[in-house]
A and B are shown apart, each in its own frame.
Chain A
């Protein structure tokens, strides 16, 4: 039991971050907080990928004398790409929030909704 908790601690962190981020996206009405939640949600997936690339007692995947076990570099390479995607999404999302603030004067979802309804 202890083994499952301690031995897989990085996966528990992944699950916690995933749930926390996803909950923030769903529950918060503030547009910036939603983006922050989305970021945490995505980061948890980065962590998941990095964890699965781990090979026990493996070293950095650079060929060198005296080392025969290497970590799997492919998940790392994939997650670099996913980080780029995540950064672009965040940047675009924040840019949209700036435009929304200019157009509505607010970044609270319910206030924006009220403004549109009154039209």
Chain B
């Protein structure tokens, strides 16, 4: 009985915990409940992945209404993989959150903060679970609205303007998605993703379908921070509380990548991608995104902003993988979704540890800090290697698959851009290393202690995961590969 409903419980548990959390007295109680809820979610997501990893599909009919009329939760390898990433990051972020939130969020707001965090988690998990496009829109807005609130809780007043800017851009994106869904609904009369795919197949050349597709892609691209629609992202990540930077950087854009994959390849189809210039558009924007965002990252003077630009570049890699439109390309994208969540999670956690001790992540405050905070610095260094793609780290695995996919496509240029992106990553990560390790400690500076253990442990769990998944690729690559095949992407052939 319980087992049949677990897929739904993954969404319902955080959803019900949120109002309870909001009513709890401020202090550590809300944190404890949020922690319990997110670890429960992680267990369910792990179970769910173990069921569908062999190609099974879990179909859950909400309220007993059979699809395509009712809302269906349809879990295949890709959904379960994304749900696992989201819940795992939430589960690792929360132990880290306790001290960081006590420092950055006023005490009288803690219960509301954690309630909003849970709502954001509900939205992201719901997106991963649902098999209904309108339901997806609603969950997208749940996660977006709560992330606007969370970003606005940053200490500086610019957090407010960043959240406002994100709200405008995000709402425009969501409304575009809604228009697209409406146009597709007019043509097919259905909202269920599997049903949509079948009904769209004979009418892929209709102009309404093309218009709907354009609206959907632009709408998701705004949420995904795809170049050139990325302008909201650097400030949103920079001014939000540290915990929120960690959580959003590791999950929100990844979930948007999932939506893009699901919509473009799952709902429309690979045939549609080939008869339209979609793949070329993805490749073009991906190439520009990788290069320009990496170059922009080099010129930043703040670690958090630098990492935000690096996130845009890394998301552009994922878009490149989609543009290659082959099993290898999609596999590379999904592997990178997982690995990038590990990298950015660890890097933003390290950044949060710096903010915890120094109160800022600007370069001029960090001179020589690497020797005073050796554990944090080493975490940045190792994850930096992973971001660059040094063999023996998770980042290498994703870069390897990207290059393989590009070579299979015989696009030497794309392969070159991927390697160039890595070189640029060396440059910007080196800037942090130089400031923190090679600059002398200013005489006026007070001595700084290493970050507390409760910040270091989650950070190092992610750092070790970066190394572990650089050697053991069984989970990531197998799941990504079977997910890519389920999407119906045929192997590339001329």
A residues touching B (Cβ–Cβ < 8 Å)? 22, 25, 31, 34, 38, 41-42, 45, 48-49, 52, 75, 78, 81-82, 85, 88-89, 92-93, 96-97, 99-100, 103-104, 112, 116
Q: How far is the CA of A81 from the CA of B89 in the complex (A)?
A: 29
- Contacting pair A96 B167 (CB below 8 A): yes
Known contacts: A38-B172, A85-B141. The answer to whether A99 contacts B182 by CB under 8 A is no
Q: How far is the CA of A97 from the CA of B160 in the complex (A)?
A: 8
**Residue among A38, A93, A96, A99 with max Cβ neighbours from chain B (10 Å):** A96
Interface size counted on chain B using CB atoms at 8 A: 25
Q: How far is the CB of A71 from chain B (nearest CB, A)?
A: 14
Closest to B149 in A: A92
- Contacting pair A92 B145 (CB below 8 A): yes
- Contacting pair B145 A42 (CB below 8 A): no
**What residues of chain B lie closer than 8 Å to A99, measured between beta carbons?**
152, 160
- Contacting pair A89 B152 (CB below 8 A): no
- Contacting pair B185 A48 (CB below 8 A): no
Q: How far is the CB of A21 from chain B (nearest CB, A)?
A: 9
- Contacting pair A92 B179 (CB below 8 A): no
Q: Is B171 part of the binding interface, using a Cβ–Cβ cutoff of 8 Å?
A: yes
Q: Is B26 part of the binding interface, using a Cβ–Cβ cutoff of 8 Å?
A: no
Q: How far is the CA of A25 from the CA of B357 in the complex (A)?
A: 40
Known contacts: A78-B134, A92-B145, A96-B152. The answer to whether A42 contacts B161 by CB under 8 A is no
Q: How far is the CB of B238 from chain A (nearest CB, A)?
A: 12
Q: How far is the CA of A45 from the CA of B134 in the complex (A)?
A: 14
Known contacts: A89-B171, A99-B160. The answer to whether A49 contacts B152 by CB under 8 A is no
**What residues of chain B lie closer than 8 Å to A38, measured between beta carbons?**
168, 171-172, 175
Among A34, A42, A52, A116, the residue within 8 A (CB) of B185 is A52
Q: Is B178 part of the binding interface, using a Cβ–Cβ cutoff of 8 Å?
A: yes
Task: Beyond the given A92-B148, A96-B167, please list 10 additional residue pairs across the A-B interface where CB-CB is below 8 A.
Answer: A42-B175, A52-B182, A81-B138, A85-B138, A88-B141, A88-B145, A93-B167, A99-B160, A100-B160, A116-B158
Known contacts: A38-B171, A42-B175, A85-B141. The answer to whether A97 contacts B182 by CB under 8 A is no
Q: How far is the CB of A95 from chain B (nearest CB, A)?
A: 9
- Contacting pair B179 A45 (CB below 8 A): yes
Chain B 117-151 per-residue mask, 1 if CB under 8 angstroms from chain A, else 0: 00000000000000000100110010001001100
